[in-house]
Amino acid sequence: MNTLTPSAIAALGKVGVLFGGRSAEREVSLMSGNGVLQALKSKGIDAHAFDPAERSLGELEAERFDRVFIALHGRYGEDGSLQGALELLGIPYTGSGVMASSVGMDKITTKIVWLAAGVPTPTYAVIDESIEPERLDATLKNIVADLGLPLIVKPPLEGSTIGITKVTRAEDLKAAVDLAHKYDKLVLAEQFIEGREFSVPLLGTGAQARALPIVEIVAPEGNYDYQNKYFTDDTQYHCPAPLDAATTAAIQADVEKAYRALGCEGWSRIDVLLRESDGRHFLLEVNTSPGMTGHSLVPMAARAEGTSYEDLCVQILQSASLKAGVAGKK
C-alpha cells in the first residue's frame, strides 16, 4: 500500500464524496460511497460525505470542496446533470464530463456512436412509448423477425440490470416492453448474444487511457441480475479472465477505442459478451461511474495489477478535473 506524503495530501484539499442520490441505484451508491469515504480517510485525506438527495447544490457550494469524488450511479449522478452543475460551480470532479456522461448513460446513443466508430455491439431496435397501439403489434413482430429470439429488452437510461427482461417467446415481448417503459419513454430491444460475459475497467484519459485486466463473470444459471451483482456471493469472478492472448488484446483494444469514441475520462467500465458460436465479441454498455462496493469489478481488476482499493480511490481522486475549460473555483 502506497503512503501519501503530507504535501500530496494537502494538494488534494478538502474532498467531498458524493453518494446516495435519487436514482434507482441509490442503495448501491450508498455502499460504493461509504467504501470510498473510508478508503480516503484511511489515507489521511480530509474527506466528507455529501448526499445530493438530502442536501442542495447551495450547500454543496457552501462546503467549499476543492474536489469531489462522484460515487453516484444512474440518473442525476452519472448522466451529466451533476457534472454540469459542478462545472458551473467550478469544483473539479472525478470521471467523465457532461457530454460523455450523458451519452454513456443512454445505451441507444452509445450504440450509435460505437457503430459509427466501428466498435462491435449487438444489433438492436427502439420502441417509443408514443407508438399507436394499433401499430405496436406489427412493430413487435418485426423486431422478433429482425433480431430473433431470445432477445434482451431494457430501459436505456437505467443501470444495474434494472428493468431488464430476457425474452424467449414472442408472446412475452409486450410485457417486457411495458416493464421497461415504466422507467423510460424509449425502450431498447437487443439481439441476445449467447456466450461468456466479461467486464473491462479502464483508467485514464485520451491517449493515456488503458484497459485493466478483464474480469469474467460467471453468474448462477447465467443470471447476472441486481441481486447476484451486489448482494450474494454465488457469482464467480475470474480476473484476469482465462482468455488467450489474442482474444484478450482484441477485446481490450476495442474497449479502449469505445472509451475514447465517447470521450470518457478518468475511469469507466465496459461490459462485453464473447459469442460462443464464433468467438466474436460485442460491447454492451459503458458505466462512467462504476460501482466501488465489495462485489465491484474495477477494484477487482486493480487488485490483479497489485493496486489496493485505497490506492485506487486515491488515484481516481487525483484525476479529478474540470472539463469545460474553467480555470478553477471563484
* Tally of residues, the chain: 330
**DSSP character for 133?**
H
CA–CA separation, 134 and 146 (whole Å): 20
Q: What residues act catalytically?
A: 25, 160, 230, 269, 271, 285, 287, 291
Q: Peptide bond before 122: cis, by omega within 30 degrees of 0? A: no
Separation CA 48–CA 71 (nearest Å): 12
Which distant-in-sequence residues (6+ apart) come within 8 Å of 318 by Cβ? Answer: 12
Who's near 103: CB < 8 A, 6+ residues apart? Answer: 109, 110, 113, 262, 263
Cell numbers linked to 248: 484478450
Cβ atoms of 265 and 207 closer than 8 Å: no
